[in-house]
Amino acid sequence: MRVGVILSLVLAALPLNGYAASGGVGGAMITPSGSITFEDGTTIPPFLKPGKWTEFEGKSNERYETRHFVYVVPGESPAIELYIAANRNGDHPDGVFEMGLVRGFLTGFAGKASLKFSEPVFEQQRIGPSTVTRTLVKLSDARRTIWVNAYIYPHRPSLIFIAIRATDDVQQSIEAYLQSLEVR
């Protein structure tokens, strides 16, 4: 039942016009092997469950361009989401926009699901060879609790991974997956 509730909430938050990746920010493309690759050699492999990356429409403004990928697992909630963000001026990311993107995701998701959450606390952490900014946020109401794990790779372009789970004990498996990334 929890999986169904989470799946419904996540799908309600996603745009319905998914499309295949074809370049854009960082030259990201979904390969035939199911990975997302970038012009600089960065590779995002398929997640740990059978499924596939699907691209949904990203949002952009005068200063930033984003792309949005979701790892879709048949019959389950999306395993993980990836936002790719690039400063249109080519400035090195300072994390402010990326943390704002996570806050915006939380606000939108919580609003659609009628859940409450506290302001996220971001901290630095090493995952493999990379230093990332991460947060774990509890969203809840009187009947349910959902956990959101977010990981920001301040990179050109930045990589923002977001995973929604019914329990708070999956951090280790998500981080094991993130260690398999080849971020250049």
Q: What is the DSSP letter of 94?
A: -
pLDDT at 135: 97
Element (H, E) at 69: strand 64-72
Tell whether the model's pLDDT for residue 80 goes beyond 80.
yes
Tell whether the model's pLDDT for residue 51 goes beyond 50.
yes
Tell whether the model's pLDDT for residue 72 goes beyond 70.
yes
Residue 7: pLDDT band with limits 50, 70, 90: very low
Query: What is the arithmetic mean of pLDDT over 56-62?
Result: 85
* Cβ–Cβ under 8 Å, residues 155 and 183: yes
Q: pTM here? A: 0.86
The gap from C-alpha 82 to its chain's centroid, in whole angstroms, comes to 3
**Nearest-10 crossing angle of helices 96-113, 2-13:** 120
Q: What is the DSSP letter of 46?
A: -
Residue 23: pLDDT band with limits 50, 70, 90: low
Give the residue extent of every domain in the chain. Answer: 2-178
**Based on the number of CB atoms within 10 Å of its own CB, is 110 exposed (0-12), middle (13-18) or buried (19 or more)?**
buried
Tell whether the model's pLDDT for residue 11 goes beyond 60.
no
